[in-house]
Structure 1
Amino acid sequence: MSTTTLNPVTGSLQPTLDQVITQPFLRRKRLITTILLALLLTCTSIMLIFHAYIAWNLARPNIEPLHSNPMKAVRLPYTDVSFPSQNGKALLNGWFIPAVGSSKTVIFSHGYGGNREELWVPLYTLARELHKKQYNVLMFDYGYVNTNSTRLMTGGVQESKELLGAIDYIKQSTGGSIYIWGFSMGAGTALQTALQQKGDISGMILDSTFLLNSDTLYQNINQIVHLPKYPSLPLVRLFFPLLNGVSLQDVPYTKVTTTSYEMPIFMIHGTNDNKAPHVLVEAMFKHQHNSASKLWILPNAQHELLYRAEPKTYVSRTLDFLSSIEPPAASEHVNAGIPSSL
């Protein structure tokens, strides 16, 4: 059937009634289809950009500037120090607080989003308590804290090399026993560091241990913005290495959580930790075979707020742990060489 007719006056073809009806409909249909495709493309682009933004920001946490120093905060003399990471990719800055006549040192390993003073822990107070017990203290910033650096947060991959650099610095400057006291991701970094060296770490205290993997990543993202696990988690995992140069797969999560470490470890965690579930630490502790290792789960305590939950007990139990694992020779040296009043 013909879709056009011949105009008897002009002799030209003219649309039939069917064409007059259907052509506007087809135009509207094409327009609606175009609009829907544009909306779909826009929404997809926004979703991709949003998840790329999350991945970008994870590696670039906002760090508060230093507010004080050991002398101003707790009247402890200190020295500004700098040292390279073990792989030479970063120069780290920190404070060394000496204890006269002592060769035993505690290195603080701060958490994600913090710096060497991490006020909410609070590190100054713990440094003072350690100083009373004749421990040297090293407080330093991981490389991503330096705003003048291009270093990004890597979930412990590069940070473990920086902690190894701190250990090397203490070995060369004071020698003696070295203990790591880590907080949150700084505790997870300490465990990654312990996988890479033998014998240099005499013991570790791990407060609110956080290890970056897919589950903990999603759990922490979901506290900031409620997103479905899929496709959000796969998209962040996709963008993270593309934008930051390191993959979540580079974090040796399984090895860290299943290794029996040679040195004694004191694991401390709260049941109300919404960033790193306490069941993870309890499972890790089951793999520890050093008889001096300890586990302390604080009821209702939150992430990195364990000291504030029970200040006196926290100090006494952590310092008692350090004292219990000190080599006998080191204890005799301190007792013989340091006046009891200090």
Structure 2
Amino acid sequence: MTTLSTPFPLGSSGAFPVPVESPSHRTSSRLGRLAIHLMLGIACLIVVIFLVFHAYVAWVLTHPAVAPLASNPMLAKNLAYSEVTFASADNKTWLEGWWIPSTDSRKTIVLSHGYGANREESWVPMYDLADLLHGMSYNVLMFDYGFASKNHSIPATGGRIESQQLLGAIQFARRQGSDELVVWGFSMGAGTALQAALHSEPIDAMILDSIFIPDDNTLYHNIRNQINIPKYPSVSLIRFFFPFMSGTRLELIPSTQIQETAFDFPILLIHGTADDKAPAYLSENVAKAQKNELSDLWVVPDAIHEMIFRTHPEEYVERTTKFLDRVTQTQAVQLAQL
């Protein structure tokens, strides 16, 4: 009888032996699983850090650092004033400011400061402007938006809630007997003025310097000035976190509407071509939509954000005062026709 040999030796029971994993193989397998878990952990950590970073950006945008008031109209320009407090138009916010009266005047200018500043906004410079206007027999209202308030602080909302605060300031000025009321805004304070103008509160004219209107492009442009991050998904994430930090959504800001609306009062728009915070096309778009014959646009070559009063003081004063005089003359004609 021929015996068939097997290529593998049989165990005592006649079965093939079970392969035994070597210690070195078990170690490498364990290290492989550990490496996978480690990579997954690192990936999750990166995602968490990415999300937390954008939540922090949203928080910073809604809680700008604002310096405390450094002076007052009397100390700065020897202007008599009174401390005033008034409610926003929706009665959800208390605002504080300075009322600088002009003897027997029924003309008032409400100064609307920009983001990250208070009513002083020294780089404009606001005290010089208040002094100029008081010399032209205007009452002047300087006030702090909620994000600049030390006693009634609320988050910044890109003009969404601030427009109700500005309407409250306008209503306060009207209660002081103001027949002619002009809003003079800077940066986001100018964009806020246009948002406020979409409501029914009567305004006689506006001067808007370096308009800033929050949208995806301007938001990303300003963030990119500070840190190099991708537009997508960064802007989408900031929009997502914004309501948690501010109580309102960026989508509710009518950025397109205010650039396309023909307002029923004259607007003088001022913007610099070298503005690295608010592109000049924002003022150009608003100007293009206007129909009032007194409306005008002054684009200043190489001028930067909100610094036109400082860099071109004589022309700035000439253009703005001429515009205000024309508004007053038009008001006088209209009143005479009543």
Alignment TM-score, normalising by the size of structure 1: 0.90
Q: Which of the numbers 218, 221, 226 marks the counterpart of 1:219?
A: 221
- Which residue pairs with 1:268 in the alignment? 270
| Matched residue SS, 2:271 | strand
> Is 2:98 the counterpart of 1:95?
yes
- Kindly report structure 1 stretches of 4+ aligned residues shifted beyond 4 Å: 5-8, 327-331
Q: How far apart, in 2, do the equivalents of 1:85 and 1:72 lie?
A: 28
Deviations 1:224-245 (A, max 9, x none): 1111112211111111113322
- Counterpart of 1:303? 305
Change (3 A) 1:153 1:6: farther
Whether the 8 Å contact between 1:109 and 1:186 is mirrored in structure 2 is: yes
Q: Which of residues 143, 146, 151 is equivalent to 2:149?
A: 146
* Offset of residue 329 of structure 1: 6.4
Q: CA deviation at 1:330?
A: 4.8
Q: Which has the larger radius of gyration?
A: 2
1:47 aligns with 2:50: yes
- Specify the SS of the correspondent of 2:182: strand
- Runs of at least 5 residues in structure 2 that lack an aligned partner in the other structure: 1-8
2:243 matched residue in structure 1: 241
CA contact (8 A) 2:95 2:152 kept: no
Instruction: Please provide the CA RMSD for this pair.
Output: 2.1
Matches within 5 A, 1:41-80: 41-80=44-83
Whole-Å separation in 2 of the counterparts to 1:218 and 1:93: 31
- Whichever residue aligns with residue 33 of structure 1, its letter is I
Equivalent residue runs for 1:73-222 within 5 Å:
73-198=76-201, 200-222=202-224
What is the CA-CA distance between 1:22 and the residue it aligns to? 2.7
Separation in structure 2 between the aligned mates of residue 166 and residue 266 of structure 1, nearest angstrom: 20
Distance in 2, matches of 1:63 and 1:15, equals 73
- 2:199, 2:331 → 1: CA distance? 26
Q: Distance in 1 between matches of 2:19 and 2:152?
A: 71
Using the alignment, how far apart are the partners of 1:67 and 1:15 within structure 2? 84
Given residue 62 of structure 1, which amino acid in structure 2 is its aligned partner?
Answer: A
3-state DSSP of counterpart to 2:67: coil
Aligned residue-pair number: 323
Cα distance in 2 for residues equivalent to 1:47 and 1:329: 55
Distance 1:235 1:55, change over 3 A: same
Question: 27-36 vs 238-247, which deviates more?
Answer: 238-247
Q: Deviations over 1:35-77 (max 9, x none)?
A: 1011101111111111100001110000100000111111111
Partner of 2:5 in structure 1?
A: none
Determine what percentage of the aligned residue pairs are the same residue: 45
Q: Distance in 2 between matches of 1:7 and 1:178?
A: 105
Any conservation in 1 of the 2:94–2:152 contact (CA below 8 Å)?
no
Classify 1:322/1:69 alpha carbon distance in 2 versus 1 (closer, same or farther; 3 Å).
same
C-alpha deviations, 1:263-321, integer Å up to 9, x for none? 00000000000111002211221111111100000001001111112011101110110
Q: Could you tell which deviates more after superposition, 172-181 or 103-112?
A: 172-181
1:181 alignment partner, SS class? strand
Which residue identity does 1:246 align to in structure 2?
T
Deviations 1:108-167 (A, max 9, x none): 000000111100000100111111111111000011212333511111111111111111
CA distance in 1 between counterparts of 2:250 and 2:137 reads: 39
**What residue identity is the alignment partner of 2:220?**
Y
Q: Mean alpha-carbon deviation: is it higher for 18-27 or for 237-246?
A: 18-27
1:326 counterpart SS class: helix
Is the contact made by 1:104 and 1:330 (CA closer than 8 Å) also made in structure 2? no
The answer as to whether partners of 1:271 and 1:301 remain within 8 angstroms in 2 is: yes
Secondary structure, counterpart of 1:149 in structure 2: coil
TM-score using structure 2 length: 0.91
For residue 321 of structure 1, what is the aligned residue in structure 2? 323
Gaps of 5+ in 1: 334-342
Cα pair 1:6 1:14 within 8 Å, conserved: no
Contact kept, 8 Å, 2:191 with 2:211, in 1: the verdict is: yes
- Contact 2:271–2:299 (CA under 8 A) maintained in structure 1: yes
Superposed CA offset, 1:187-246 (max 9, x none):
000001111025x21100000000111111111111111111122111111111133221
Distance in 1, matches of 2:212 and 2:320, equals: 19
CA distance in 1, matches of 2:171, 2:204: 14
Distance 1:327 1:14, change over 3 A: same
